[in-house]
């Protein structure tokens, strides 16, 4: 399985979008400050994830969300409302 995930910083409330083949391991890397993009934004929580059977599908979804279009905006509204 491959995962698209969204992390939220408890420090600055900003979001980080990524994808991985091992969600537990990747989250541990973020939590332990091993990821440059999030190491200064800790502590962080996983606020959302989606699972895909193919790496290409997860990569495409990550790109779609990072474009900050309507799919991103709708998802962020659901996350902030506690619906997901």
What pLDDT, in 10s, does the model give residues 28-57?
A: 999 999 999 999 999 999 999 999 999 999
Do 5 and 49 touch, CB atoms closer than 8 A? Answer: yes
More confident residue, 9 or 77: 9
SS3 11: coil
Structure confidence at residue 77 (pLDDT): 82
Q: In the beta sheet, which residues pair with residue 45?
A: 8
Give Cβ neighbours of residue 50 (< 8 Å, ≥ 6 apart). 3, 4, 5, 58, 61
Question: Pseudo-torsion of CA 53, 56, 57, 60, nearest 10°?
Answer: 160
Q: Which domains does the chain have, with CATH numbers?
A: 2-80 (3.40.1440.10)
Look at residue 69 and tell me whether its pLDDT is greater than 90: no
Residue 71 CB-half CA count within 13 A: 8
């Amino acid at each position: 399985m491959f995962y698209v995930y969204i992390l939220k910083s408890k420090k600055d409330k900003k979001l980080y979008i990524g994808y991985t083949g091992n969600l537990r391991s990747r989250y541990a890397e973020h939590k332990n400050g091993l990821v440059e993009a999030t190491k200064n934004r800790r502590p962080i929580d996983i606020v959302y994830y989606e699972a895909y059977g193919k790496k290409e599908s997860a990569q495409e979804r990550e790109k779609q969300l990072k474009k900050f279009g309507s799919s991103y905006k709708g998802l962020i509204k659901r996350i902030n409302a506690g619906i997901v």
